[in-house]
Amino acid sequence: MDELKVKFEQVIWIAKTLFKRSMVTGSTGNISFRNENDVYISGSGTCFGTIKEGQFSRLSLKGNVINSVKPSKEYPLHLMLYKNKPEVQAVIHTHSFYSVLYSCIKHENESDIIPSYTPYLKMKVGKVGLIPYEKPGSEELFSAMEKRLIHSDAYILKQHGTVVSGKTLMDAFYGLEELEESAKLAWFLEQKKELDV
């Protein structure tokens, strides 16, 4: 089986798994992977729960659409990571509940907002930065992300969702799951601190 076919099998499995786990709902979220000098990203309006190979847009690294599928409006977030971090081969953006919830509270260090209550977040993801709120898909959002790109390894868009990359699709998936579990743990521990005061 060729490498591109394997990547499509993985990306579709990941998308459907995330949908089943309620990490995305409806037609929210987007997922991409790099294959040689092209990027394949879920098309605009697609649903992770039903996505098929023919619903991926094929882009050049400059953002030119190569096939007939319209890309997700947030494709610039993905291309930004591929261009600035050469090791990145996959990017996943979801609206995971606890990550979004945790982004809504005040954070002292916005380049690393989730505490290391367990070792796994740092091992699998690294530092998780907060990107200030801007309208989804807007130039303002892309600009805000670009300004903070080098300070963190993964990101939570404030009041919006996560952006996690990886050296492979599965690395990105594992990282995303770890980030959401860490955000959940942090949320409950922060609430307990408030109650203990």
Active site residues: 74, 120
Report d(CA 4, CA 94) in Å as an integer: 23
For residue 49, CA distances in Å to 29, 66, 72, 116, 169 come to: 11, 25, 16, 32, 17
Report d(CA 71, CA 146) in Å as an integer: 20
For residue 119, CA distances in Å to 11, 88, 109, 125, 171 come to: 27, 22, 19, 10, 17
Give which of 29, 61, 58, 16 is closest to 41, Cα–Cα: 58
